[in-house]
Amino acid sequence: MNSFKIKDLEVKLPIIQGGMGIGVSLSGLASTVANEGGIGVIAAVGIGMKEPDYKKHVEAANKIALKKEIIKARSKTNGAIGVNILLALTDYDSLVNVAIEEGVDIVFVGAGLPLQMPANLEKYNTKFAPKISSPRAAKIIFNHWAEKYNRVPDAVVVEGSMCGGHVGFKKVDLINRSARPLIDIAAEVVREIDHFQQKFGIAIPVIAGGGIYTGSDMYKIMQVGVTAVKMGTRFVTTHESDVSIDFKQNYINCKEEDIVIIDSPLGLPGRVIRNAFVDEILAGKQRPVNCQWRCIKSCDFRNVPFCIAEALLNSTKGDFENGFSFAGSNAYRAKEIISVHETFEQIKQEYYQEKLFSESKAI
């Protein structure tokens, strides 16, 4: 397992912890992952929801909370810290600004194609990585940046259909398990990005995530030219993840068949752990939404059946009557809550075992 670079940012291990809102990955998890040598990522979505007066001053609360979490993370580590921001958020620009001005190492952007380069990106040394689910989406973003800015994003995350949270694939393909495998998409993205590496004479790491749970998964996907992996679900059941113990226990108690797909008000399918609330949604029931602020640009808050932000916040606090957990397809595999350090040790061991096995097969 080698170190890798995103421009001048040197990262000891090719493991990136996926940003997990609302309040699953904050400074606690991110700084611990960074201390282990990976990139620790703070999720910006809904980050201000625990601030006083949140509902009256949402944008300000989110900015304050994000700044606090970045400062807290920095006080605990000298390792690499990133922030994950959804393009779909109403205050996307303001959150990107805070992250860049606070000097985070990298901003990861999900839920949309970030065609616009953040205004102050060039002024600071923050790296920028969009998250996509197809080679076509990568090509659109990279071509647009190349033409408009004569530069391209510093890395790209390709996320497969088994990921936790919002999923960039058609619901029918998720339910029928007919989406293209991540390894095939990743190999194509690597080829697509190589064109831009040649054109700009730089290395652009391709990072793969979504269903990468073990070091063995990691080793296999890296054989198609992926530089690093991004793992979300695996880090939820660590002592250091920033959610309630009930949320972690919900992962440990769930079975494979409990992990289902719902329609999220964000306009994408979402993967969640089934409970009575989820069954209500699946049955088409409505929960009244009292929205003072539309946190997602596209949310038709007067007509959506439930508020995704409230539901996720409630679950992170352990209230599963009024909420549910986002989870990756592999969430049922966690058997106990362990430390981030133990998780890294297990991943390394699994990786080297797979490497030995693959090399012995090749002889």
SS3 letters across 116-128: CCCCCCCCCCCEE
Does position 69 bind ligand FMN by CB under 6 A? no
To which residue do tokens 């113990």 refer? 245
Amino acid at 247: F
Residues in contact with ligand FMN, counted by CB under 6 A, come to a total of 30
Please give the residue whose beta carbon sits closest to ligand FMN in the complex.
232
Residue from the set 11, 83, 163, 254 that interacts with ligand FMN by CB under 6 A? 163
- The DSSP code for 110 is E
Residue from the set 6, 11, 20, 121 that interacts with ligand FMN by CB under 6 A? 20
> Per CB under 6 A, which region of 137-145, 159-167, 252-260, 272-280 contacts ligand FMN?
159-167
Q: Are 281 and 305 in contact (CB under 8 A)?
A: yes
CB of 308 to ligand FMN, least distance (A): 11
Query: Beta-strand (E) ranges in the chain?
Result: 4-6, 9-11, 15-17, 39-43, 80-86, 106-110, 127-132, 156-159, 165-166, 206-209, 228-231, 259-263, 269-273
CB of 145 to ligand FMN, least distance (A): 19
Does position 45 bind ligand FMN by CB under 6 A? yes
CB of 97 to ligand FMN, least distance (A): 18
Does position 18 bind ligand FMN by CB under 6 A? yes
Cα–Cα distance for residue pair 78/87, rounded to 1 Å: 28
Cβ within 8 Å of residue 336, ≥6 positions away: 237, 252
Q: Which residues pair with 94 in a beta bridge?
A: none
Does position 23 bind ligand FMN by CB under 6 A? no
Residue from the set 14, 21, 48, 130 that interacts with ligand FMN by CB under 6 A? 21
Q: What is the DSSP string of 59-79?
A: HHHHHHHHHHHHHHHHHH-SS
Residue from the set 211, 265, 269, 270 that interacts with ligand FMN by CB under 6 A? 211
CB of 337 to ligand FMN, least distance (A): 15
CB of 232 to ligand FMN, least distance (A): 2
Cis peptide before 261 (omega within 30 of 0): no
> Per CB under 6 A, which region of 20-28, 116-124, 199-207, 257-265 contacts ligand FMN?
20-28
Residue 86 CA to its chain's centroid (Å)? 9
Give 253's Cβ-side CA count (13 Å radius). 10
Could you say which residues in the range 315-354 bind ligand FMN, by CB under 6 A? 326-328, 330
Residues near ligand FMN (CB under 6 A) are 18-21, 24, 43, 45, 84, 86, 110, 131, 159, 162-165, 209-212, 230-234, 236, 326-328, 330
